[in-house]
Chain A
């Protein structure tokens, strides 16, 4: 059974929700790794779209940081799963993230200029809030392997900073 959590404020232009595993179907490390990797890759792709479309220096700097940071974390996540001989496993949470990302990519693709910038940054705020909520509430508590848990905790500190950066940028673009 899947329930939705991490509801994002209705004021957000684009809403993101992360379906969580209920307690009776605990998420395993292979699935957690897949969710974490997918979440990072989605944000790299969103940033690449921003780098193609945005002319705003601050938005571009933010997008460059998203590419740099999420690529760095995913590289470490891949190295970890290889060392642990874990094959990341697809699951409803990562599938839902991918579907929502495709929708967001389409919607953002129709926008230009300041409208694009505001929508991209609003989506980044919502996305990081949802992912951080999933990390705190589901992924970190359910991770069994200590190294995986530690990487997720480092990820939460990082994505918390990304969220603040995006929120600050959103206020600036208002």
Chain B
């Protein structure tokens, strides 16, 4: 390895992490949060893509579930805890809480 190559690689090691945290990261998977509070699902982020992670945060004093109507996910979130899942499907995914069926929401996952 030449001195020039070593310097180039060293520079890449330094700059790549910076790039990863910069605008280029927008193309990679992201993490979104949906809060469950007072027996309701809070606002659902609009820019979800397949491969992104959703953190379900339960601020209530009882357990909830985030369950897709089409069966593509079913996450149990204990009282005052959170749980994460990766969005696997695209399209509009209606979800509800199996324990409290009046709690409903939907998310749109883009390709």
Contact = CB atoms under 8 A, between A and B. Distances in A.
Given A161-B100, A161-B102, A68 B63 contact: yes
Contacts, number: 38
Interface class of chain A by DSSP = helix
A157 B62 contact: no
Given A76-B61, A154-B61, A69 B99 contact: yes
A107 B101 CA distance: 28
Contacts of B61: 72-73, 76, 151, 154-155, 158
Interface in A132-174: 151, 154-155, 157-158, 160-161, 164-165, 168
Interface in A44-97: 61, 65, 68-69, 72-73, 76
A131 to B, nearest CB: 16
Contacts of A154: 38, 60-61
Contacts of A160: 39
Contacts of A161: 39, 100, 102-103
A73 B62 contact: yes
B102 A158 contact: no
B85 interface: no
Contact size range, B: 10 to 19
Give the interface SS of chain B, mostly helix, strand, loop or mixed: loop
B79 interface: yes
Contact of A158 (B62, B98, B101): B62
A81 B51 CA distance: 45
Interface string B68-104: 0000000000010000000000000000001111110
Contact of A68 (B38, B60, B62, B101): B62
B100 A65 contact: yes
B106 to A, nearest CB: 19
Nearest to A156: B38
Interface of A: 61, 65, 68-69, 72-73, 76, 151, 154-155, 157-158, 160-161, 164-165, 168
Given A69-B62, A151-B61, A157-B39, 5 more contacts: A65-B100, A157-B60, A158-B61, A158-B62, A168-B102
